[in-house]
Amino acid sequence: MKAETKAKLLSMQRGRAELCVLIGYIVGVIVVGIFHEPWFDEAQAWSIARSASWHDIVFKVCHYEGHPPLWSLMLAPFAKLGAPFEVSLKAVNLAVCGAAVWLILYKSPFPKIVRCLIPFTFFYFYQTAVICRPYSLVLLALTLLACSYKKRNEKPLLYVLPMLLLCASHAYGLVLACGMCLVWVAEIFSSAVREKRFLSVFKDKRCYLLLAVLAFALFTASLIMPADDVRYLNMDDSFGKRAGKLYMLLVYPIDSLFGLYIDIDTVKQSQSGLIATIIGGALLLAVLFAVTKKNRKLAIFALPYFMFLLFGVFKYMYWNHLGISTFYLMFVIWIILDDKPQVPDIFGKIQKKVESKLTVNLGKAAVCGMVLMPLAWTCYCSVSDIISPYGMREVAQYIKDNDIEGHDIMMYWLFEYKGGDSLMDDWYYTAENRRNMSNEQSDGSSLSPYFDSNIFYNFNITHHDDLYNTFKQTPEEDNERNFALWREYGYPEYMFCKCPLDSVFPELKYEDIEEMYDLEASFERNCFYKFSTITEYVQIYHIKDEYLGKGKPQ
């Protein structure tokens, strides 16, 4: 009976189990998705799709967003036609993720138990399917590439088309596609040299298809090149500080599979367990190098993957990019299993030397822990999302119920901290240590999808119909211009989170703000990642009657 059960779990046959998993995946994502409230970046994509012109989505916005326009273009028909925000956003994302999961269940070379567990792991379920972002396109592209990799030379078009999708999905997808194409070019030319038919490559249709990929990649790269006035969100922007994080090359792979070092708060990453994570990461990479070398997949693993990691370390890396690492490592494992996999000799030698029952059981326990960890992350985040609010739905409903829309509402704006310890509260630093960035830096795009128009007078005040954050760096002269426009409204009737009004109205001091406004409502906002939760509060302040209508320039 035990042998029969094992045979079923390792079976390559497809049947009712796969269908049940697919249905369970779709139903599970829908159930959690009903409770999940779109985060800022999810709402931002919808706001871009709704209010930016088709031309701006392709040729303007990308220079500030940092990723290609495909995701916003997919959302735009729904957003511009007035389709429901959350339903449409989640339906589009689930369609993409569902297609990828179908391919995994019915086309992948993984044993049945692995095929049926992968869809419910953290990055496939919660982080990519429940949370709606362009990473779902990366997942689908890499899954299609894994399906077509084995016959890439016989049917190159089937390999090139998902490569184009990978380029169009994300900046990281563009980097991975570049590395994968370089490996393919090297294979084509080395084969021609080895067979002494070098000139034949100029008649090879694969080369022309690769030129098409190159042209599309260059076009896509031109769309996402940062504008001169873009505001970067990463804290350590200098090359020296980034170079000091080279240890992330070891942390990133293990954390994308079962590690816990990278936390949701990337400014203050947990230092506990760093040494163990680095050692574990080094061992994991050693195993990957050994396995891919034995199976003649070292180049397709190492070159694209380390281009991706180096780009992240020296340019921009965030906790939510870990899923791309997961998807690429799964791609590598897929193509190995799809081509008569071989076990490195060193593994056999280690097994002979380590034959104690205790050691074997410890090894099995470790493997089980690695497999179960991503499932545990899914459970924690899914349950947390169901029982804990993100807050923006509640804020939007509060505005509508209390007829606040149409009043003078100021949304807090971001500002750059220039050092020092003078932290007065969650949203305000003392004037000596702050640089205001007033133009398009508020969080208005998180609430924009719930309303027909811009409800905050200080959000994109010079182009009020744009409902998204443009991430533009605000020069000092623009700050003063914007503050002058804000002053025309006088003291705001409502403030969403405490705003440093003393920056706008010279006659005020910070202490005056405490006197002028009462806290009317507070809403909890939670984000979840693996076993971590970050909690913030959206607070609504209302001006006292004696200050209403004051503050306007005479």
Tell me which residue of 32, 101, 171, 27 sits closest to 528, measured CA to CA.
Answer: 32
Instruction: Evaluate if pTM is beyond 0.95.
Output: no
- Higher-pLDDT residue of 257, 414: 257
Q: pLDDT tier at 414 (50, 70, 90 boundaries)?
A: low
Query: Which pair of structure tokens corresponds to residue 226?
Result: 């940062």
What mean pLDDT comes out for the span 477-491? 86
CA of 302: how far to CAs of 190, 296, 521, in Å? Answer: 18, 11, 52
Average pLDDT over residues 394-423: 76
Task: Give the mean pLDDT of 11-35.
Answer: 92
Q: Is 409 strand, coil or helix?
A: strand
> Per-residue pLDDT tens for 526-548?
999 999 998 888 899 999 999 99
- Run of H or E including 277: helix 274-294
DSSP reduced 3-state for 383: helix
65-87 pLDDT, tens digit per residue, is 889 999 999 999 999 999 999 99
299-329 pLDDT per residue, tens? 999 999 999 999 988 887 788 889 999 999 9
CB burial of residue 202 (10 Å; 0-12, 13-18, 19+): exposed
Q: Is 527 helix (H, G, I), strand (E, B) or coil?
A: strand
Rounded mean pLDDT, 10-37:
92
Nearest alpha-carbon partner for 478 in 449, 525, 436? 436
CB 290 within 8 A of CB 282: no
Q: Give the H/E segment covering residue 496.
A: strand 494-496
48: tokens are 């871009």
For 266-301, the pLDDT digits (tens) are 545 666 678 888 999 999 999 999 999 999 999 999
Grade residue 154 by pLDDT with cuts at 50, 70 and 90: very high
| Lowest mean pLDDT segment, chosen from 188-202, 278-292, 339-353, 497-511 | 339-353
Q: For residue 403, with 0-12 CB atoms within 10 Å meaning exposed, 13-18 middle and 19 or more buried, which class applies?
A: exposed
Report the pLDDT value the prediction gives residue 432, as an integer from 0 to 100: 46
Query: Taking the mean position of all CA atoms in its chain, how far away is CA 365?
Result: 31
Kindly indicate the confidence band of residue 423, based on its pLDDT and cuts at 50, 70 and 90: very low
Q: What is the pLDDT of residue 55?
A: 96
Residue range 329-373, pLDDT digits in tens: 999 999 999 988 888 877 666 666 666 666 666 666 666 777 899
Q: Domain residue spans in the chain?
A: 392-547
pLDDT of residue 415: 58
Q: Which of 234-238, 253-257, 498-502, 508-512 has the lowest mean pLDDT?
A: 234-238
Scanning 295-450, the segments in alpha helix (DSSP H) are 298-314, 322-337, 345-353, 357-387, 392-401
Of 510, 523, 384, which is closest to residue 446 (Cα–Cα)?
A: 523
Can you tell me the distance from the alpha carbon of 288 to that of 301, in angstroms, rounded to the nearest whole number? Answer: 8
pLDDT band, very low/low/confident/very high, at 499 (cuts 50, 70, 90): confident
Residue 355 CA to residue 359 CA, distance in Å, equals: 7
Q: Is pLDDT of 237 > 60?
A: no
Average pLDDT value for residue range 448-455: 92
pLDDT (0 to 100) of residue 214: 96
Distance of alpha carbon 529 from alpha carbon 234, whole angstroms: 19
Distance between CA atoms of residues 38 and 390, nearest Å: 8
Taking 90 as the threshold, does the pLDDT of residue 497 lie above it? Answer: no
Alpha carbons 77 and 242: distance in angstroms, whole number:
39
